[in-house]
Structure 1
């Protein structure tokens, strides 16, 4: 990719946005943020899940940016109302980010994919779904067709019916599978966008988080306020109205300063928005979401990312981080990395100059389990680790932040990590990756086996590493509907590391 094409892609990214020596301890006195709405340590301790660990990290000489990957354990109690979600997200900051912030060193905080998904069940409209989440109406395995999720979407379609009907009139033939996400635009703007926008500004950090939502505008029209306002909010002077029925899985990046004074709340400090492409089967066939741009100038702009503190951040939200187009180290002669962006998303980002890959994750399914690619943690090396070990690209870092916790009949699990090319950190590995099972694991995944020095930091799993048979049993105990004492007992934590040039 020529420098001219890169410049074009960078400019198009702005246009796309406008349309929508190592150490294990911090090396300086933590930052004390200015006075603003901050939960107390007692409030935050009460919101911790049963399994919790303070952030661990790696400081490096010559640091230009400190990155923190949050491993949030989603719980239905955090979305009872807007204040509950806002408080929990700020507690993640207070407990995992503020203690490791360093004066004079910019901080990048990576929240998870689908960080805002649960907020659709905020308030009275989500009461039945929140109640459902506390009942035995969960699948015994959590890995099959998510019938509980489908049932919850049905309840939410009824709860948001006035908004569903209003948007169907505005955007005829909207796919009924995604219509409730469109109907929840005002909720998402208040609960998700404004929460993370405010966190970035208040704490003076860069913030990454993602959600399934449509682009929106602010409206003070009395008729639109009547149509789209949250019935729990007695007095509002504006509502947030979708400007399109395009509902994508969007990963947003907010900065510490306002740059767009005319933008609606939640977007005045927005720096970039990446739309996920390709999408997973659940996103396409269950939720009916729209893929991000896959071709032409818009596709290049979406993949090119954005410059932050001397780094070019690119966004590969889960599945795109696995899209290479060839096996490890076996790039075909004459390969055109951006000829088919969804199929070779990672080499395309590299060709566009990305050096830091942000991999926000909400991995549906058990972590310790076998899937089509064999042992899942071994398959996962094809993203987080391969980013910085693949010899045919030049990425410097990968930051992977996993969402964990059961959502109705779907489990979400993983081990958050930060990797660096040519690092010489202590050897680390995902659970179960000291083994390789011929005939089960993909043959060329043998390169992924064993401990790797590229892991600057790696979050532990629920248990220490063990033979895969034992890990499989633990995964079954964690899964929705298991009835075991370990059900839904995932680890909330964070990992951090310094990025250097």
Structure 2
């Protein structure tokens, strides 16, 4: 097949599919470059005697070690975020790439390394993005003016290995040219990346995390394969790295202080250019596990994954102490339109997930900078920690200052608000936009591509330690009480509580307890008639062995039913402690599940013998919501089935669902969840009118679409009211604002038509702070519903409560948590409401790890 045909076909495919190009003239520029590439002569296939042998050695540098960051010299680990600037000139050869990475690290970070604690060095997403342009085969591509033109020139440069992979993988060269380029350059790109970061990790005795777009590779010494894939810039090697299959992933890898590669993760959620134009593959959610290091568990999220509630929720469930958000944020930093401020969008991720999740205590954000031909990449690297109300506030450019920043890197100019505090946010942004626009590709300004590289770091303390007592804050509930006694040095975590109330007013609380990897589900019972419902009660282990987590509990006609996830190695199963069973058993019908999580239970409010179990499971096609029902009080269950049985169409994460909840009242059974089907996380409900026997053909969206910008709802709960309608309670970020909101809205059943929403907040302006993790109680007989949520209006996450009356009016927001210690976080509330009392239970960090506390209020 003529290479000219392939190049021109690839040009059409890249533009028809849709390439993220920053210049409106990109199509004409790329077409001109395509003509030049098509007219170029074919590669000469000579094996010259004077070619150098490939040498993976890391060369010595004369530059003395330097340090651009400051540290406290306290804590378990020193983290350093390498905000590297991408320069196409760095990939003239493997040696120039290695020298550039090593020099940047040595000059700006090597002098920061700690001698008395481990060092973790994290690099941005796609640190090796430009490695497809490597060496003599990429010389024409490096001279291109557009990203599409560069790709077309690369096709010409690597045409022989591209043809080899087209035949080997059965991929049409016309249709898959963009994907095949990453296969064709994989051997050289892998050696450049792996040998560079492995050598630096070993040389400096650190853990290095970096990555790029690559297939999974295996070594081959087959002479025909070596001849097809060898790098023409070096002597013929004995072996090459060859693609294991047709899939290419956005990877992050980790090398230990011994230089050995020991871990990798694949990006689960791709941006349209990756998924459509380059036809890359998504990493399945089940491979999302924290990077286990001697000093802590680090969840590594690659760019878009850092906004995805299922990714973040799973890493929190698996005990991630900190997150690394590796970022190459395309589009610029201070760029139009001003109403979609790019720093706000990144703040939605790193800052929010550090404050939102009970396991996560810090987040590290290394940001790449630099124009990649016509694609701008920019951002400020930062380290975030659990916010404290007495923190010195900080922020990205053009933002109000907030607590929770351990450090933030510089931008190309100081925020004008520093010198002129009287400027409004809009006035500050207008000045910053002018500078940002000057750096964009094609601006012609002296500042074009004038981005800076930066290095920031912090010493993180991930070892649990109790906060100072700090006194008691005035609240609107009773003084809080611990669920179990705590003694100094006890780092037992108590998390993910669920409760039910029986017909006698007894309250039954299930929760997970113990260290990650060896958690047990505990059950404790009490009475709503007492101010301290659990006084004198001792929790008992209900589900144990390996790792038991995420319990759900139901008060059925036969007794107390507990469901949970049990993990043993890579196996995950829903298990049940059924009433009267005497032993824990797996739910039948899970043979195809690679991942299960988030079980939820509901008892029919009119018939306690009927029980519904919903959960999140990945059966290999997608991660969806499943249901199983019981007609005998939870003693036996039918086989699980998908709630939404619509065609998956091979779209992977595009049809992922998350965070199920269930409610049952007579013939009406409602299952709610969030779903990524429209490239936004929206809340949906499936309303069955025959008690869950059948569901509609498609779900009903119950969260509002305020505009067409991406929405990130992370949860939705349905409460079935005695009058036949329902209440939806939901939370998340929307309108590209940096803060998260929680809200409620009435649903008219059975159509699930959503009424006007009411936003809940302890602040008069709900957009001033973030609110997360809303919980709604079952309704009282007269229709009141208790609402509790996590609220950052005090400068750190706290718990607040409000009551919805039967007529729909909302009472005032009342503070529930009572710690006056500035670093204590109150998280993940649950609530129960009786005719006499409101009871709220939450995770509280005053003992250094999340532990359950509770408080009540007489009605």
Query: Given the two structures, how large is their TM-score scaled by the length of structure 1?
Result: 0.75
Query: What residue is the counterpart of 1:336 in the other structure?
Result: none
Query: What residue is the counterpart of 2:165 in the other structure?
Result: 167
Query: What residue is the counterpart of 2:292 in the other structure?
Result: 307
Q: Which of 323, 327, 342 in structure 1 is aligned with 2:308?
A: 323
Change in CA separation of 1:36 and 1:117 when aligned onto 2, cut-off 3 Å: closer
- Does the CA-based 8 Å contact 2:67-2:109 persist in structure 1? no
Query: What residue is the counterpart of 1:461 in the other structure?
Result: 411
Structure of larger gyration radius: 2
- Give runs of ≥4 in structure 1 deviating > 4 Å: 370-373
How far, CA to CA, are the matches of 2:121 and 2:102 in structure 1? Answer: 12
Give unpaired runs (5+ residues) of structure 2: 1-56, 417-427, 464-859
Alignment of 1:21-40 (within 5 A): 37-40=59-62
The superposition leaves residues 102-157 of structure 1 with CA deviations (integer Å, 9 ceiling, x where unpaired) of 2131110011111111111111111001122xxxx3xxxxxxxxxx2122111111
Alignment of 1:65-84 (within 5 A): 65-84=77-96
Query: What residue is the counterpart of 1:375 in the other structure?
Result: 341
How far, CA to CA, are the matches of 2:245 and 2:358 in structure 1? Answer: 36
- Does the CA-based 8 Å contact 2:137-2:158 persist in structure 1? yes
- Does the CA-based 8 Å contact 1:58-1:456 persist in structure 2? no
Q: Which of 363, 372, 381 in structure 2 is aligned with 1:407?
A: 372
How far, CA to CA, are the matches of 1:64 and 1:38 in structure 2? Answer: 30
SS of the residue 2:383 aligns to: strand
Change in CA separation of 1:122 and 1:313 when aligned onto 2, cut-off 3 Å: same
Q: Does 1:99 align with 2:114?
A: no
* TM-aligned CA deviation for residue 306 of structure 1: 2.1
How far, CA to CA, are the matches of 1:233 and 1:36 in structure 2? Answer: 17
Question: Would you tell me which structure has more helix in proportion to its own residues?
Answer: 1
Query: What residue is the counterpart of 1:347 in the other structure?
Result: 313
How far, CA to CA, are the matches of 1:36 and 1:204 in structure 2? Answer: 14
How far, CA to CA, are the matches of 1:425 and 1:244 in structure 2? Answer: 50
Query: What residue is the counterpart of 2:185 in the other structure?
Result: 184
How far, CA to CA, are the matches of 2:362 and 2:112 in structure 1? Answer: 19
Q: Which of 270, 278, 284 in structure 1 is aligned with 2:275?
A: 284
Q: Which of 459, 463, 473 in structure 2 is aligned with 1:498?
A: 459
Q: Which of 129, 141, 153 in structure 2 is aligned with 1:155?
A: 153
How far, CA to CA, are the matches of 2:355 and 2:402 in structure 1? Answer: 10
The superposition leaves residues 231-267 of structure 1 with CA deviations (integer Å, 9 ceiling, x where unpaired) of 1112422211111211000111111126xxxxxxxxx
* TM-aligned CA deviation for residue 428 of structure 1: 0.9
- Does the CA-based 8 Å contact 1:458-1:495 persist in structure 2? yes
- Does the CA-based 8 Å contact 1:359-1:399 persist in structure 2? yes
How far, CA to CA, are the matches of 2:99 and 2:141 in structure 1? Answer: 21
Change in CA separation of 1:150 and 1:499 when aligned onto 2, cut-off 3 Å: same
* TM-aligned CA deviation for residue 97 of structure 1: 2.2
Count matched residues.
Answer: 391
How far, CA to CA, are the matches of 1:414 and 1:36 in structure 2? Answer: 29
Query: What residue is the counterpart of 1:233 in the other structure?
Result: 234
Instruction: Give the aligned CA root-mean-square deviation in angstroms.
Output: 2.0
Question: Would you tell me which structure has more strand in proportion to its own residues?
Answer: 2
How far, CA to CA, are the matches of 1:37 and 1:199 in structure 2? Answer: 10
How far, CA to CA, are the matches of 2:191 and 2:251 in structure 1? Answer: 16
* TM-aligned CA deviation for residue 370 of structure 1: 4.4
The superposition leaves residues 30-76 of structure 1 with CA deviations (integer Å, 9 ceiling, x where unpaired) of xxxxx96322218x9xxxxxxxx952233242x21110001111112
* TM-aligned CA deviation for residue 371 of structure 1: 5.6
How far, CA to CA, are the matches of 1:230 and 1:129 in structure 2? Answer: 16
* TM-aligned CA deviation for residue 286 of structure 1: 2.1
Alignment of 1:432-471 (within 5 A): 432-433=398-399, 450-466=400-416, 467-471=428-432
Change in CA separation of 1:373 and 1:198 when aligned onto 2, cut-off 3 Å: farther
Q: Does 1:361 align with 2:327?
A: yes
How far, CA to CA, are the matches of 1:360 and 1:247 in structure 2? Answer: 18
Q: Does 1:120 align with 2:142?
A: no
How far, CA to CA, are the matches of 1:56 and 1:453 in structure 2? Answer: 19
Q: Which of 367, 382, 395 in structure 2 is aligned with 1:429?
A: 395
SS of the residue 1:411 aligns to: strand
SS of the residue 2:191 aligns to: helix
- Does the CA-based 8 Å contact 1:220-1:237 persist in structure 2? yes
Query: What residue is the counterpart of 1:484 in the other structure?
Result: 445
- Does the CA-based 8 Å contact 2:67-2:111 persist in structure 1? no
How far, CA to CA, are the matches of 2:180 and 2:377 in structure 1? Answer: 24
SS of the residue 2:147 aligns to: helix
- Does the CA-based 8 Å contact 1:318-1:363 persist in structure 2? yes
Query: What residue is the counterpart of 1:418 in the other structure?
Result: 383
How far, CA to CA, are the matches of 1:127 and 1:177 in structure 2? Answer: 18
How far, CA to CA, are the matches of 1:379 and 1:117 in structure 2? Answer: 22
Change in CA separation of 1:121 and 1:388 when aligned onto 2, cut-off 3 Å: same
Query: What residue is the counterpart of 1:199 in the other structure?
Result: 200
How far, CA to CA, are the matches of 1:357 and 1:372 in structure 2? Answer: 29
* TM-aligned CA deviation for residue 289 of structure 1: 1.0
- Does the CA-based 8 Å contact 1:54-1:493 persist in structure 2? no
How far, CA to CA, are the matches of 1:373 and 1:271 in structure 2? Answer: 43
Change in CA separation of 1:480 and 1:54 when aligned onto 2, cut-off 3 Å: farther
- Does the CA-based 8 Å contact 2:393-2:402 persist in structure 1? yes
How far, CA to CA, are the matches of 1:60 and 1:54 in structure 2? Answer: 14
- Does the CA-based 8 Å contact 1:210-1:360 persist in structure 2? no
* TM-aligned CA deviation for residue 373 of structure 1: 7.4
Change in CA separation of 1:498 and 1:490 when aligned onto 2, cut-off 3 Å: same
